[in-house]
Amino acid sequence: MRLPFLALLSLTQTLLLDAHAAEGSRSFLEKHCVECHDADVQKGDLDLTALTFDLTQPLNFLEWARVHDRVNAGEMPPPKKARPEAGELEGFLGGLRSQLVEADSQRQAVEGRTELRRLNRVEYENSLRDLLKLPALAVKDVLPADGEAFGFAKASVALDFSHVQVGRFMEAVDVALRAAMAPSFEAPPREKVRVLSREMNLLMVQIQQRKAMPLVQGKLDPTWKVQPGNFKERQAGWVHDPPPHFDAVGTFMNRSERINGLMARYSGWHFLRVRAYGIRWNFGRVEPGTQPEAVSLYTDAGLLGTLEIQANAPTTREMKVWLNAGERISFSVASAWHHNFNRIAMSRKTGESRFEGNGVGLEWIEMEGPIHEQWPPASHEVLFGDAKMSRLPDTEEMVKARAERLRAQPRKRPKDLSWTEKLVKPLPPDSQNILNTRAFPQDGPVPNTPRDYTLAVPQPEAQARRLLQRFADGACQQGADLAPAMAAVRSQLQRGGDFVEAMLDGYRALLCSPDFLTLREEVGVLNDRALAGRLSRFLINSGPDDELRALADQNKLHDAETLRQQTERLINDPRSHRFHEHFLDYWLRLKDITLTEPDEKLYPEFSQLLLESMVKETRRYFAEMLRRDLGARHVVASDFSMLNLPLAKLYGVPGAAGYEIAPVKLQQASHRGGFITQASVLKVTANGTTTSPVTRGTWLLTHILGTPPPPPPPSVPAIEPDLSGVTTVREQLTKHREMESCAACHKLIDPPGFAFENFDVMGGWRERYRAIDKGDPATGSKDGQALEYEIALPVESASETKDGAKFAKIDDFRVLLLKDEEAIARNLLRQLVIYATGADVGFADSSKLDEMMSRLKSKGYGVRSMIHEIVQSPLFRNK
């Protein structure tokens, strides 16, 4: 500890602040900062004596920005040290701020706020989907995952280029072009395949194991006798089923089963239909269903959709989906609870199934398609215009491939009983060996068929140029140089390739060029084309559509009223769901929702359907906020929620009717409301077993309030929550309160976290924690089986904010949070600016944000109004 005057002496010699720094800065720093932040002590690795003042250097700018921010927040000088006088503080901050603003403005004048960037993979996929008129084109997953900056994947620094990226772009283009061009001269035949439940081998195995039931007209088949096979005694199972034969299978397991026979042989739109009815199984009896059920259909690529099945009366439900050739359908009874029944549920001796639960009586599942409204398809015409198709003569390869494709066709085949001939006991008469009811063989792969058509074009080069120009006009933000594409076309034609090959080469060149992949903007006011691009990437996460482009080409888009109208149009456009999804995936971190899975023993009621529903809830809620221009308050509180049955059950909220998400009014005393009490958010901020007040508190501060806390000191280990139920996580965090160095940050972080402790890892409300042991047994049952968790210690959610305001639960914490409405609004506005422009709100921008905020105040900081404000502001309209 040196004497002050000595310190001053050394300072005046070594402080490097040059003449650029305001005089007030130097004396302030000397007086309040350099004692700790000098060459010897270097608290926090900051040596102010060595720090120059040259804000034109980006690194230097960032250092001084950090100095400003920490002093402004009151974090520096630290609480232990003498506080500067108010006037002195303002002088320093004001001086520094105005210099930072000045430097930032100058930088923006030269370079703009944003940097050149490439499309991110979602934008890329959406752009190709729109350009090629292929609504379900899947290329996103061919590309590597994008990075993140400022919380989104929209800023240049997050979107790098590497040879991996380049290679994958080439692959993605090939996938897209192949999907777009007509696969064959003739339209593929529209076929219907119906697979009866008794033809689904996996269901038959379930029946044999007494996990599924044969039904006739909704009741247990009275004439059915089954003997399950016995491997040990080498006894084949058999079924004796005189008329009436069963017409449906009651299945009660939430388990994904692939259906042999339902494979798309050709790409295209397909109808998938399910005929079923909801029922209930109760320890040996089939009972009428009491609720609608949900059947989900999947391919390997993911969920296709969920159909709602009414109770008791068989109904046919259908969905229209795009399937790629070779994709096979799986189904699951999404609303059933069980993944699989363990042995306890079934008695092997008596054949009785000792469980109760809801499920469906499944009659059949059918696939019809592909459905093509025109041939060649619209995507083909995008590429080749109206060039006439003519058939190529058959080659050996084509004939072989065609035959193979036919062989891949689902077709019933006779049973093979040869291996049962050596059984010990023969089968009883009139029975059949159900193990071999493999009506449909496992589907083979769909072979690649060589192209059987060519395109006749009188002037190929001229036509190529026309088509490429038309495509480039739509695809490339600032137009394109067609020379490389035309060179590729010419080269292919010279080598003897036909028009199709030539055009494909041309499109490859175009789609791999920086004209398509990168977004170039000129410094200053954006030209109309760039503005159109920004607007569409903001509100529909894709390139501009025809209407926007036309306005841009006529140079009319930049007119304020036109811009407003187009903003309105796009917010209302059905494609705006892409904006909701992409924005929320990053802002609320919903993209991480599948990173962990709730533990099966502790949270048996979690299901895939619940997971899918909770994500839909948040997206629909945001859409509703946009639709009604609801304000930032609604981030934290609301009098309604967007729910379906599974979510309503989880929340204990009445009023939901089916599996579709719909608005539901919340009771006055409900704990729910706003984003912060939605299951998706609560799941993303927890892991599969435990919740942490620190994680959730940090999430609230960072994503909702916009005041992220500093990271923890490096040597502090994470706490290991006690699953045995002896200590609560709150007790484990008492050190935060006891140690002063921890308390400084944790009195900000922990209280919101405690308020959230009443929500478990999937967003359900709890008054007491669940534990593996050391508690009271849980009430209720899992379909007639005992629950495997116990109820342990009570949750203590009461705490107080850093300002000393006390709260008991989330409900009153929410009221306190609403006092910060302006901060919540400002943060949301800032997130939208980052998403819309790809650059953070810098020093030169914050005054513009202030102006927007003051105008938005009268509209209750409505989200729709925010979007309009952003679009009209220079933050959006300039580079």
Partner 1 sequence: MTAMKPIHVSTQPRLSRRHFLRAAGVSLSLPMLEAMTPAFAKGSDAKPRRMVAVCTDLGMMPDMFFPKGTGKDYTLSPYLNLLKDHRSDFTVFSGVSHPEVDGAHAADKCFLTAAPHPTRGGFRNTISLDQLAAQQIGHLTRFPSLTLVVGPANTSLSWTSDGVQIPGENRASKLFDRLFFQGSKAEIEAQIQRLREGRSLMDAVADRTRSLQRDLGPRDKERLDQYFTAVRDFEKRLAQSEAWETQPKPQVSTKAPADHLEPDALIPRTRAMFEVVRLALETDSTRLISVLISQGFNPKVDLPGVTLPHHALTHQGGAGDSRTQLRTIEEAQLKELKTLITGLKSVKEQGATLLDRTMLLYGSNLGNAATHGTTNLPTILAGGGFKHGQHLAFDPKNNTPLCNLYVTMLQCLGIEVDKFSSSTGTLSGLKT
Least distance to partner 1 from the beta carbon of 530, Å?
13
Nearer to partner 1 by Cβ, of 589 and 672: the residue is 589
Nearer to partner 1 by Cβ, of 135 and 147: the residue is 147
Nearer to partner 1 by Cβ, of 609 and 623: the residue is 609
Closest by CA position to 137, among listed 470, 379, 320: 379
Nearer to partner 1 by Cβ, of 513 and 541: the residue is 513
Peptide bond just before 314 cis, omega within 30 deg: no
Least distance to partner 1 from the beta carbon of 69, Å?
4
CA dist 154 and 538 (Å) reads 10
Least distance to partner 1 from the beta carbon of 376, Å?
25
E strand or H helix at 863: helix 863-872
Q: Is 556 exposed, middle or buried (0-12, 13-18, 19+ CB in 10 A)?
A: middle
DSSP 181: S
For the chain, count helices (H), then strands (E): 30, 25
Nearer to partner 1 by Cβ, of 730 and 830: the residue is 830
Least distance to partner 1 from the beta carbon of 656, Å?
21
CA 149 vs CA 127, 585, 653, 664: distances in Å: 22, 14, 38, 36
Nearer to partner 1 by Cβ, of 111 and 776: the residue is 111
Give the side-chain half-sphere CA count within 13 A for 42.
7
Nearer to partner 1 by Cβ, of 57 and 282: the residue is 57
Nearer to partner 1 by Cβ, of 5 and 231: the residue is 231
Nearer to partner 1 by Cβ, of 27 and 442: the residue is 442
Least distance to partner 1 from the beta carbon of 797, Å?
27
Residue with structure tokens 């050391």? 774
What are phi and psi for residue 760, nearest 5 degrees? -85, -170
Residue with structure tokens 């209720």? 780
What are phi and psi for residue 806, nearest 5 degrees? -90, 150
Distance of CA 64 to the CA centre of its chain: 37
Tokens matching residue 740: 């002063």
DSSP 421: G
Least distance to partner 1 from the beta carbon of 68, Å?
8
Least distance to partner 1 from the beta carbon of 680, Å?
15
E strand or H helix at 371: strand 356-371
Least distance to partner 1 from the beta carbon of 595, Å?
9
Least distance to partner 1 from the beta carbon of 697, Å?
17
Least distance to partner 1 from the beta carbon of 521, Å?
8
Residue 610, amino acid: L
Nearer to partner 1 by Cβ, of 19 and 424: the residue is 424
Nearer to partner 1 by Cβ, of 104 and 750: the residue is 104
Least distance to partner 1 from the beta carbon of 19, Å?
24
Least distance to partner 1 from the beta carbon of 698, Å?
14
CA dist 77 and 81 (Å) reads 6
- Contact of 202 with 270, CB cutoff 8 Å: no
Tokens matching residue 315: 């109904």
Least distance to partner 1 from the beta carbon of 734, Å?
29
CA dist 353 and 781 (Å) reads 16
Nearer to partner 1 by Cβ, of 352 and 850: the residue is 850
Closest by CA position to 814, among listed 631, 672, 697, 699: 672
Nearer to partner 1 by Cβ, of 118 and 620: the residue is 118
Nearer to partner 1 by Cβ, of 68 and 672: the residue is 68
Nearer to partner 1 by Cβ, of 336 and 863: the residue is 336
E strand or H helix at 643: strand 640-643
- Contact of 111 with 82, CB cutoff 8 Å: no
Least distance to partner 1 from the beta carbon of 594, Å?
8
Closest by CA position to 566, among listed 579, 583, 547, 585: 547
DSSP 275-331: EEEEEEEETTEEEE--S-EEEEEEETTEEEEEEEE-BSS-EEEEEEEEE-TT-EEEE
CA 551 vs CA 535, 555, 590: distances in Å: 12, 6, 35
End-to-end CA distance of the chain: give it in Å, rounded. Answer: 50
Least distance to partner 1 from the beta carbon of 431, Å?
19
Residue with structure tokens 């002496």? 9
CA dist 806 and 466 (Å) reads 70
Q: Is 12 exposed, middle or buried (0-12, 13-18, 19+ CB in 10 A)?
A: exposed
Nearer to partner 1 by Cβ, of 139 and 733: the residue is 139
Tokens matching residue 102: 């000045």
Least distance to partner 1 from the beta carbon of 623, Å?
23
Tokens matching residue 836: 């819309």
DSSP 862: B
Q: What are the helix (H) ranges across 181-231? A: 201-208
What are phi and psi for residue 493, nearest 5 degrees? -65, -40
